[in-house]
Amino acid sequence: MKSYQVRVAVAVAVAGVALSACGPVQAGAAAIVGKERIAASDLDTKIQDFRKDLAAHKMTEDQLGLRIPLTQLILLRLANDEQYIQLGKQRGIAVTQRDIDDVIASQGGQSQTDAALLQSGVPLSMGREFISSLIIQQKLVEQAGGGVDQQSQQLALQKVTQEADSKVPMRFSPRYGKFDAQQGFLPDERFGKVPAPEQPPAAAPPA
């Protein structure tokens, strides 16, 4: 069985970069992904979970050096996960629990993986789902011609992202800010200004 060596803290840098958002969103929904609805109440629960996870690991939001507000970041994580899980089903791509366990082992175990997930703005309650979506993304990139070199990886990722946006479109509620397909969520002081990190982000754990 092939082991997918996914660098959690690095892989999230591309997750959610080229998401498209358009059209109306149902009342009470934070986003619509394909035919699935991400409820605002579910988003609120994940935000609360994440803050509890941080407290349990003696971490603060300031230590994360977030570039966008936490609410928007977790919404992007939820939407991107759902998008790739749906696309994986359409393409017949299966991810086993063993695949996920292999990724966790490659990060140095559950403790190291949890730290990487939190550093990347992922609530631990959605950790395995998040890793599953990354594995699906990597399999799609390989099928699209992504090799070991960076250029082929980037070209393949562009193809996969375009396919994802086409087959599993995403729409975000404007209450969470204005979203641009190229720039992501645009600055909005309704959510408060995000201070620039004083320290560089933590390095990704070795794959």
Asked, for residue 38, whether it belongs to a domain, the answer is yes
pLDDT over 90 (residue 204): no
Asked, for residue 116, whether it belongs to a domain, the answer is yes
pLDDT over 90 (residue 73): yes
Asked, for residue 24, whether it belongs to a domain, the answer is yes
Bridge partners (DSSP) listed for residue 137: none
The runs of H, that is alpha helices, within 57-108 are: 61-64, 70-90, 97-106
CA–CA separation, 207 and 197 (whole Å): 25
Indicate the number of domains in the chain. 1
Tokens linked to 178: 């204005």
Residue 25 is predicted with a pLDDT of 53
Asked, for residue 73, whether it belongs to a domain, the answer is yes
pTM over 0.85: no
Residue that wins the pLDDT comparison between 13 and 68: 68
Mean pLDDT of the chain: 80
Asked, for residue 165, whether it belongs to a domain, the answer is yes
CA–CA separation, 5 and 206 (whole Å): 10
Beta-strand relationship, 179-180 and 170-172 = unpaired
- Its domain, for residue 50, covers 8-190
Label residue 181 by pLDDT band (50, 70, 90).
low
Q: How many CB atoms lie within 10 A of CB 153?
A: 18
3-state secondary structure (DSSP) of residue 15: coil
Asked, for residue 195, whether it belongs to a domain, the answer is no
Asked, for residue 204, whether it belongs to a domain, the answer is no
The CATH number of whichever domain residue 70 belongs to comes to: 1.10.4030
pLDDT in tens, 118-168: 999 999 999 999 999 999 999 999 999 888 888 888 999 999 999 998 999
Label residue 189 by pLDDT band (50, 70, 90).
low
Q: Which residues contact 97 (CB under 8 A, 6 or more apart)?
A: none
